[in-house]
Amino acid sequence: MIELSVENINVNFGDKKILNGITESFEGGEMTAIIGKNGVGKTTFIKAIAGLTKHGGKSRLFDNGKLINDRNAIAYVPQLGALSTKLTVFEMVLLGLVNNLKWHVTNEQLQMVDDIIKKLNLTDISEQPFNTLSGGQKQLVSMAQSLISKPKVLLLDEPTSALDLRHQLIVMNLAQEYTKETGAVTIFVVHDLMLASRYGNSLLLINDGNVKAFDKAENVLKPEMLENVYGVQISVEHTKTGFLSAVPIKPL
């Protein structure tokens, strides 16, 4: 049983307070969606967990109650940016093992790459340069790069932004599958409230550096709460397929 516990995480950029001390606990095998307005510190929060941002407070990872101090146990998948690398898909995925790579790459390492590429159906494009891929393919390769090292915590920064509907589902299903299979803690930042409720076992709503709510989707996606946070009139409905849908009506 994996558990990630954060205590009083706070981050300042100069004089500006970004996070005001967040204390929460995340359970393995579950996915948490982080939602909130632009600039409230969603990305900062998961970067702090990944150790990529200077922060105060503690973030600790336990496996069956045992403290784990391995930085490689946490994988952070950055948002897809303008990345023009000509590394091939195979090489990109291989780089996920960068800390263990020597001049000579071992057969086991190659086999690991091989396995994950096949699993993610990237075989046909394995020798294509990364910069020639579509957004969805790039995201999958990014995920593969992170998953190859079998992380215990998977942090996804807006994994579905700029992807078409089909790839949104493929990417999120992949994360869900991995979480269930390995019992990892998965936290993803997302703007789309539908995806948040569809994949998040619970939703963490951040507003102005504080946790506004951390609960099941039906308890977070409440019109009054969202209107307050997002400044829009919003209608929350249950769909016929059993999902929760938040439809924005107009800005307030």
Partner 1 sequence: MENSPNLLYKNINRKRGIVFAVSIFISIAAFLADICIGSSGMSITDIIETLLAGPNGETVNTLIVWSIRLPMTLTCVFVGSSLALSGLQVQTITNNPLASPYTLGISAGASFGAAISITFGFTIAGVQWIGTAILAFLFAIAVSMTIFFIGKYRGLNTNTLILTGIIMNFFFTALQQYLQYSASAEVAQIIQNWSFGNLSRASWASVWVSAGILIIGFIILTKFTWKLTAITAGEERAKSLGINVERLRIYTFVICAFLIAGAVGFIGTVAFVGLVAPHCARLLVGEDQRFLIPVTTVLGSLIMLVAASTAKLMSNGSMLPVGIITSIVGVPFLFVLLMREGKGK
Q: Which is nearer to partner 1, 72 or 207 (CB)?
A: 72
The binding site for partner 1 (CB under 8 A) comprises 50, 52, 71-72, 75-78, 81-92, 95-96, 98-99, 101, 103, 110-111, 113-114, 117-118, 122-123, 126-127, 129-130, 142, 145-146
Q: Which is nearer to partner 1, 115 or 218 (CB)?
A: 115
The minimum distance between CB 9 and partner 1, in angstroms, equals 18
The minimum distance between CB 57 and partner 1, in angstroms, equals 20
Q: Which is nearer to partner 1, 5 or 126 (CB)?
A: 126
The minimum distance between CB 198 and partner 1, in angstroms, equals 26
Q: Which is nearer to partner 1, 88 or 182 (CB)?
A: 88
The minimum distance between CB 222 and partner 1, in angstroms, equals 34
Q: Which is nearer to partner 1, 28 or 151 (CB)?
A: 151
Q: Secondary structure of the chain in the HEC alphabet?
A: CEEEEEEEEEEEECCEEEEEEEEEEEECCCEEEEECCCCCCHHHHHHHHHCCCCCEEEEEEEECCEEECCHHHEEEECCCCCCCCCCEHHHHHHHHHHHHCCCCCCHHHHHHHHHHHHHCCCHHHCCCEHHHCCHHHHHHHHHHHHHCCCCCEEEEECCCCCCCHHHHHHHHHHHHHHHHHHCCEEEEECCCHHHHHHHCCEEEEEECCEEEEEECHHHHCCHHHHHHHHCEEEEEEECCCCCEEEEEEEEC
Q: Which is nearer to partner 1, 41 or 151 (CB)?
A: 151
The minimum distance between CB 66 and partner 1, in angstroms, equals 21
The minimum distance between CB 47 and partner 1, in angstroms, equals 9
